[in-house]
Amino acid sequence: MRWADLDAFIQEKMKQTGLPGVSLALITQGEITYAKGYGFRDLEARLLATPNTVYGIASVSKPFTALAILQLVEEGKLSLEDPIEKFLPISARPFGDSIRIWHLLTHTSGIPALDFIEVEIRNTQKTGKKLWNLAEIISWLNKSTGWAEARPGERWFYLNEGYTLLGAIIEKVSGVPYAEYVRKKIFKPLQMDSTGVLGDHFSEFATPYFVSDNAGPTKAIVPSMVVGSEAGLASTVLDLAKFLNCLLNKGAPLISESTFTEMIKPRVFLPQKFIVHDVEPPQYAYGFVVQPFAGRTLIGHPGNITIYTSFIGFIPEEKIGVAVLANAQGYPTAHIAQVALASLLNLNVMQLPFMRLEILKNKIIGIYRSVKGSISVHVQARADAFEMIFRDKSTYQTITMVLERFDENVAIFRTIKDDTIIPATFKLAAETTELVYDCYKFRRVQNSG
């Protein structure tokens, strides 16, 4: 797959999921290899997306926040071992232990995900007004003793509000607002002239949209975040390429090489396991996810606030990087990014784990019938989960399937019926896909449900 195939892939996924606009940039050895916009940054005005289109970058904001914290560490203004109560009026101590700055950087505070941002986005669409502020988040955390699930440092719980607190700490230590700090200390040195925060004026700004299965894209209102350090920055793929080049240059000119090495060092495993291949799960560093990719290491971060989705990533061994931004939630930007990286490396895109799952999905979804057609089974996919729906004259039953293993010839799922586990076996090598389940055998008669 090369650029024409990559373009076709992205356009097809946009069509399937209703994504209005996408922008992408690939870099190699410090140079832009490929950059393009797809679809529209504004559907109503029919304005096209380009590499210069500004999007909300959602949680891709977090690497910038982490880097800002590390700059302050280098300046001797704070330590990663400092308890956050040193800077903020926080008394929350999960299981009696202080939350330290590095716990927030790695999402290991012991506090499971909160939903302040999700509620903020929904409230903005309804009222157009800001709902939360920093004081209210701190007040909730100070009353959240029973919400903690682990001691700080023990396990990973993604916590947006932890990065809100990091932004507040940056403001406290530097003496300037978070947005001003990152402009002066990160964006300006890297000449990221089209990067700022949601709410700034940009000449080529992407209108955000909600996308649902039942309706086309619906125009949304741009939200404002509590601090911006969690998910409130806005940028272009070309500006993010400049940031990626800084990372490929081991942090220069923003941080030292030794600090950069600490920044990307894996600290905690994410509670995930790959279905398709037997490799270690992703790990979280300081503001980055570190994961295996085609025998290499992909370091990056995804972002999703429903109305904007994003991904940046780089492969140090190959000195390449990718940035993908979209103005809605649809086909995952992380998947687009990985396909783009595979294309850049001339790899077989179809061997990427999620692509193999998509191929499997196409092979098994559809309508199956028994020998005489008295029983029909509709196999369908919801996100990455599969269901069997049994239908006959008197029965309608939905059974969830969990994939256990598959290859080119067979896919085996585990199902639970009452208090028993029953395998569901799909025979893929036959002329038409066959399903063996319990005492029955079915053949696919229609390719989609």
Residue 449, pLDDT > 70, answer: no
C-alpha 104/C-alpha 83 separation (Å) is: 10
The secondary structure of 1-16, three-state, reads CCHHHHHHHHHHHHHH
**For residue 372, what pLDDT is reported?**
87
Mean pLDDT for 104-128 is 87
Per residue in 364-385, pLDDT tens?
999 999 998 888 999 998 766 7
Concatenating the DSSP letter of every residue in 395-435 gives -EEEEEEEEEEE-SSEEEEEEEETTEEEEEEEE-SSSS-EE
Residue 225: pLDDT band (50, 70, 90) is confident
Q: Which residues pair with 444 in a beta bridge?
A: 368
- CA-CA-CA-CA torsion sign (61, 67, 73, 74): negative
Instruction: Place 226 in a pLDDT band, splitting at 50, 70 and 90.
Output: confident
pLDDT in tens, 174-216: 999 999 999 999 999 999 999 999 999 999 999 999 998 767 7
With 70 as the cut, is the pLDDT of residue 46 above it?
yes
Rounded to whole angstroms, the maximal C-alpha distance in the chain is: 77
Average pLDDT over residues 108-120: 88
Q: Supply the pTM of this predicted model.
A: 0.93
**Range 8-14 average pLDDT:** 97
- For the stretch 325-363, pLDDT in tens is 999 999 999 999 999 999 999 999 988 989 998 899 999
pLDDT at 138: 93
Give the CA dihedral 12, 17, 21, 23, nearest 10 degrees: -60
**pLDDT at residue 393, rounded to an integer:** 63
pLDDT tens string 74-97:
999 999 999 999 999 999 999 999
For the chain, give the number of residues.
449
CB atoms within 10 A of CB 317: 11
Residue 106 gets the label, from left (phi > 0), alpha (psi -120 to 50) or beta, of alpha
Q: Domains of the chain, with CATH numbers?
A: 3-351 (3.40.710.10), 363-446 (2.40.128.210)
**Per-residue pLDDT at 235 exceeds 90:** yes
Give the pLDDT confidence score for residue 410 in this predicted structure: 94
For residue 1, the model assigns a pLDDT of 57
Q: Which of 71-75, 143-147, 162-166, 432-436 has the lowest mean pLDDT?
A: 143-147
